[in-house]
Amino acid sequence: MNQDIRFVAHIDILGMSAITEKNADEAWVMLSDLISVKDRVSNYEIEFLHSNEKVVFSETIHATTFSDTIVLFTKGSSDIELRCMIIAVTEIFHKAMCSCVPVRAGLALGRFFFNLERSMYAGPALIEAYRVGEAAKWLGITLANSVQERARALGIKSRQSELIVEWPVPVKAGVEHRFVVNWPAAVAHDFKIKPPISVSQFFGAFESTFGLFEKLDADVKAKYVNTVEFINDQLERHG
């Protein structure tokens, strides 16, 4: 197997350019919060009960930062590395949201090259992860074609809910039926409001940064509406 084949995730902050233009200090604080989340998750150690294997994320996944973007990549392409990557991306996504930092992510599998000493990172997997994440008009975690079957085959569950589910992901041209991470089910215990959650309730966490929801551009509004639709659907199924 090609040693350059690995799992790659691309995570970025929504609306960072607008935030920076409006208030550079606030943008810096938001970015700092996201990096703090990344650092905390990197120190996680988890045990997989099905294999009695303990894994330290920092020894399995490397994380680097470009401006408002976090890139995660694994050493190889084993199932245990994919499990760790899905958990890490979900945790970063969740903790970022708890810190009122709106993010979206894409996850891919493919060739990826790096040189840590020279801060060089490139490869088709990074491009694919970037494109599938950026195309989605929501706050969520979307899987690229290259990784979705591997992720589904893992059969990861949160209680009775599948962690990898199919969803009509909203994109510029309409929708694309893709497999995504069911993060609402994974963090259902942390929702303080009984579903169904309204858009205004969800957006309230971001209002101090972006202003009143009613004054947002239609394209920006749609991202939050689409996110809430996904949240409510998955929480209802989760029970």
Whole-number average pLDDT of the chain: 90
> Which pair of structure tokens corresponds to residue 68?
């408002």
Residue 125: pLDDT band with limits 50, 70, 90: very high
Residue 106: pLDDT band with limits 50, 70, 90: very high
Task: Using the CB atoms, write b or e for 102-115: b if 16+ within 10 Å.
Answer: bbbbbbbbbebebe
pLDDT of the residue at 22: 82
CA–chain centroid gap for 49, Å, is 24
User: What would the mean pLDDT of 91-101 be, rounded to a whole number?
Assistant: 89
65 or 135: which leads in pLDDT: 135
Q: Which range among 15-29, 38-52, 155-169 shows the weakest confidence by mean pLDDT?
A: 38-52
How big is the chain by its Cα radius of gyration, in Å?
17
pTM of the model: 0.91
Residue 50: pLDDT band with limits 50, 70, 90: low
Residue 239: pLDDT band with limits 50, 70, 90: low
CATH assignment of 5-238, given 3.30.60.50, 3.30.70.1230, 3.40.50.720, 3.40.630.40?
3.30.70.1230
Residue pair 71/84 in contact (Cβ under 8 Å)? The answer is no
227 or 31: which leads in pLDDT: 227
Q: Is the pLDDT reported for residue 1 higher than 60? A: no
pLDDT of the residue at 51: 67
pLDDT of the residue at 2: 60
Helix-strand-coil percent breakdown of the chain, rounded to 5? 50, 30, 25
Residue 7 pairs with which residues in a beta bridge?
109
Residue pair 235/188 in contact (Cβ under 8 Å)? The answer is yes
pLDDT of the residue at 210: 87
- Residues in CB range of 145: below 8 A, 6 or more apart: 128
Residue pair 147/107 in contact (Cβ under 8 Å)? The answer is yes
pLDDT of the residue at 31: 86
Helix axes 79-98, 24-42, angle to 10 degrees: 140
pLDDT of the residue at 65: 87
Dist CA 140 CA 230 (whole Å): 9
